[in-house]
Chains A and B, each alone.
Chain A
């Protein structure tokens, strides 16, 4: 068991997969230099220019070449530096990569991964801070992994690289400096299996990537006030571990979904809808969402914080859910 930062875990995870499978290759901008987030540090030196390919600033070429390489017998891992830049190559991702298997009735297989740095909290502004995981969730054919810990950064990446389906991995740029345990050996976290990070009987908190530590902080605060929150780390949006969420809500009767992407159509809406449809009888309070604001993300610290989810907002939402019981008791 090694303690690594999340950014070190990404590089370590890539190295593990490249060690294991000579068809795993990397493609992206500034990889040779270690990447702007230092997530490919040392890989060029270790694996050489054939397997670690620097590209021009050409996102359409990056995702298209990853697709072609996957069709041609490789397992490429492409990097889109900031997830905001998906907008420049979204055609390749959603019209080509997501649909190739289906449109060919299974005759094409695309074992590829696209990694990118996602999310806000560090003042990069509206074009470099978006949480865009909900964009991908609108498109059948893409798997979506969003690690919240260094261990999952390795384990989910391993599952993604070994998957025969295209997987988008959203690394959270505010988590890159976080340290955590990474198991030695072959550490794989299967796609579509949520983790219960904390158990509790009073309310279920569902988070993803950056909002998982936020939910855990909120749960610690709530515990001090005598409220026990269960914290579920979804880990993946597709496949979605709905069963774990539904089972938890069955125990707690309350659900607060905490998502960084804008609430106007965030992934939390999908989670809330399926709980409303399938666990309505278990609910003792309305499902609540703590979401990113429906504004382009501002830069100044106070402005960004104003429109971003936080532990305090989660605590407030939990109290609203608990208050609902007092206002409208079940007869």
Chain B
């Protein structure tokens, strides 16, 4: 009842322990994918997931600058560790939901990258059928319930997903990603309050990249941590984490997801990170002080994790090989998308209603 897919129908049936579909997760991951791996292999898997996001976003940036992306694109370059660290804490049955800067969250849950690229380029077969674009990618069967492009609007939706899990007893947890800028909009506060007072199984994750679009967040928030410092108002502990350290994010997220799953209510995590590029690809981000980008790139989440993994005895050659490999993989995805046909114009008239039509009158 929740979705058109058989996966969704299974979800709607509710009971924990249902035979969950096991869709191909591509380069994405869940806690289940990591469970049976050695610590060293887990490290490499986390790195690979981040690298795939990196390669995907680099390619989108290039395609955008070539005028091939339809509409805006908000890249997650620099945000990879937040998505992968939290994704590593979610089970296959769990759900996540994010913002217009959401390619990384979609990919981490396993949303097909081919379908995403087709969507971004406005070609037939995109994950939203050409009706959503970069800001609205989703994959219901992978538990990514969409990127939402009105700041803050999806936080109450996350609360509702948690409410459904609570009523149905399906044992799922919902992770809700949002930016620092969202902490000043009413929906953030309404959703946190509702989730807290109803003890909903939701993990709210603020990706604090320091900028509300083009404006430094500290100029519009009177506290140091725009999300975590407000958590106390809703009876929640202030949890902050280095958002460029995937292991740190994962550790915090595992605990947060466990708390939520135990029925102890929502958890809010604020992950401090940085976007390497502008608000959208169209934004050169000239408002940033000289040296700031370079300083953050010194703490590039891929490099931070690689160095830590190597210090734990990881194989340098294995890490060396990852980025070239995923870049090649993504280049092939992009080529396939560029060669794909455009959508049938008649598709614009479908999918308004559950009968598939857009008919509003007799």
Q: Which residue of B lies closest to A95 (CB)?
A: B150
Contacts of A141 in B (CB 8 A): 352
Distance between Cα atoms of A140 and B131 in the complex (Å): 14
Q: Which of B121-171 contact A (CB under 8 A)?
A: 126-132, 136, 138, 140, 145-146, 148, 150, 153-165, 167-168, 170
B interface vs A, CB < 8 Å?
1-5, 8, 11-14, 95, 126-132, 136, 138, 140, 145-146, 148, 150, 153-165, 167-168, 170, 172, 174, 186-187, 190-191, 193-194, 197-198, 347, 350-354, 356, 358-362
The answer on a CB contact under 8 Å between B3 and A66 is no
Q: Which residue of A lies closest to B165 (CB)?
A: A72
Q: Of B14, B157, B165, B194, which contacts A96 at CB under 8 A?
A: B157
Proximity string of chain A (12-23) to chain B, C-beta cutoff 8 Å, 1 when within and 0 when not: 000000000001
Return chain A residues, CB-CB under 8 Å to B190.
56, 58, 60-61, 64
The residue on A at minimum CB distance from B163 is: A69
Question: Is A192 among interface residues, defined by CB-CB distance under 8 A?
Answer: yes
State whether the Cβ of A111 lies closer than 8 Å to any Cβ in chain B. Answer: yes
Residue in contact with A107 in the complex, picked from B4, B130, B150, B191, CB distance below 8 Å: B4
User: Which residues of chain A come closer than 8 Å to B159, judged between CB atoms?
Assistant: 61, 64-65, 68
Q: In the complex the two chains form, what is the Cα distance from A106 to B357 in whole Å?
A: 10
Closest approach, in angstroms, between the C-beta of A142 and any C-beta of chain B? 10
CB pair A67–B160 under 8 Å, yes or no, is yes
| B276–chain A nearest beta-carbon distance, Å | 28
Interchain nearest-CB distance for A237 vs B (Å): 9
A126 within 8 Å of B by Cβ?
no
Instruction: Select A73's contact among B12, B130, B153, B356, beta carbons within 8 Å.
Output: B12
For residue A102, which residues in chain B have a CB less than 8 angstroms away from its CB?
131, 351-352
> Smallest CB-CB separation from B351: which chain A residue?
A106
Partner of B1, one of A67, A111, A192, A240: A111
Contact of B146 among A62, A69, A108 (CB under 8 A): A108
Q: A210-253: contact bitstring with B at CB < 8 Å (1 yes, 0 no)?
A: 00000000000000000000000000001111111000000000
Residues of A contacting B126 in the complex (Cβ-Cβ under 8 angstroms): 105
The residue from A66, A71, A73, A241 contacting B168, defined by CB atoms under 8 A apart: A73
In the complex, the 8 A-B pairs of residues with the closest C-beta atoms, listed nearest first: A68-B160, A64-B156, A72-B164, A105-B129, A164-B354, A65-B160, A73-B12, A61-B190
Partner of A51, one of B146, B167, B356: B167
Q: Counting CB contacts under 8 A, is A101 at the interface?
A: yes
Residues of A contacting B146 with CB < 8 Å?
100, 104, 108
20 cross-chain CB contacts under 8 A = A56-B193, A61-B156, A65-B159, A68-B157, A70-B160, A72-B2, A72-B160, A73-B14, A74-B168, A101-B351, A101-B354, A104-B128, A106-B4, A107-B3, A109-B354, A111-B1, A140-B358, A141-B352, A239-B361, A240-B360
Main secondary structure of the interface of B (DSSP, over half): mixed
CB distance from B153 to the nearest CB of A (A): 5
Q: Which A residues form the contact surface with B (CB < 8 A)? A: 23, 25, 27, 50-51, 53, 55-56, 58, 60-76, 91-92, 95-96, 100-109, 111, 140-141, 163-165, 192, 238-244, 274
Known: A60-B190, A72-B165, A239-B360. A103 touches B131 (CB 8 A): yes
Provide the bound-state CA to CA distance between A126 and B205, in Å.
40
**Contacting residue for A56 out of B130, B170, B174, B194, CB 8 A:** B194
**Which of the residues B5, B153, B358 comes within 8 Å of A92, measured between beta carbons?**
B153
Q: Find chain B residues with CB under 8 A from A243 CB.
A: 362
Known pairs A104-B138, A109-B354, A274-B361. 19 more at Cβ < 8 A?
A: A55-B194, A56-B193, A67-B156, A68-B163, A69-B160, A72-B2, A72-B172, A74-B164, A100-B146, A101-B352, A102-B131, A103-B128, A104-B132, A106-B356, A107-B3, A108-B140, A111-B1, A164-B1, A192-B362
Q: Cβ of B5: which chain A residues have Cβ within 8 Å of it?
A: 107
CB distance B354 to A64 under 8 Å?
Answer: no
CA distance A242 to B361 in the complex (A): 6
Name the distance in Å between B1's Cβ and chain A's nearest Cβ.
6
In the complex, the answer to whether A68 meets B158 with C-beta atoms within 8 Å is yes
Report the minimum CB–CB distance from B12 to chain A (whole Å): 4
- Find A91's partner among B153, B160, B358 (CB 8 Å cutoff): B153
Nearest A residue to B145 via CB reads A71
Cβ contact of A64, chosen from B127, B138, B153, cutoff 8 A: B153
Query: Is B156's CB under 8 angstroms from A63's CB?
Result: yes
User: What residues of chain B lie closer than 8 Å to A244, measured between beta carbons?
Assistant: 362
**CB neighbours of A163 from chain B (8 A):** 354
- Contacts known (A23-B1, A69-B161, A108-B146); A60 close to B360, Cβ less than 8 A: no
Chain B residues with CB below 8 A from A274, complex form: 361
The answer to whether residues A105 and B362 also contact, given A56-B190, A72-B164 and a CB cut-off of 8 A, is no
Q: Which residues of A contact B130 (CB under 8 A)?
A: 105
The residue in chain A whose Cβ has the minimal distance to the Cβ of B360 is A238
Contacts of B174 in A (CB 8 A): 68
Most A C-beta atoms less than 10 A away, residue of B157, B193, B350: B157
Task: State whether A73 touches B164 (Cβ < 8 A).
Answer: yes
Residue among B12, B150, B164 with most chain A CB within 10 A: B164
* Contact in complex: B361, A72 (CB < 8 Å): no
Task: Report yes or no: A71 in contact with B2, Cβ–Cβ below 8 A.
Answer: yes
Query: Shortest beta-carbon distance, A85 to chain B, in Å?
Result: 13
Chain B residues contacting A75 (CB-CB under 8 Å) are 1
Give which listed residue, B140, B161, B170, B351, contacts A68 with CB less than 8 A: B161
List chain B residues, Cβ under 8 A from A65. Answer: 156-157, 159-160, 163, 194
Inter-chain contacts of B359 with A (CB < 8 A)? 239
Q: Are the C-beta atoms of B3 and A109 separated by less than 8 Å?
A: yes
Q: Chain A residues near B156 (CB, 8 Å)?
A: 60-65, 67-68, 92
B138 and A108 form a contact (CB under 8 A):
yes
Contact A140 B194 (CB under 8 A): no
Contacts of A58 in B (CB 8 A): 190, 193-194
- B193 x A96 contact (CB < 8 A): no
Report the Cα distance A72→B157, complex, angstroms: 10
Given contacts A60-B156, A96-B153, contact A69 B164 (CB under 8 A): yes
Give the chain A neighbours of B197 by CB distance below 8 A.
56
Query: Which A-chain residue is minimally distant from B356 (CB atoms)?
Result: A106
Query: How far, in angstroms, from A25 to B354 measured CA to CA in the complex?
Result: 21
- Nearest Cβ in chain A — how far from B10, in angstroms? 10
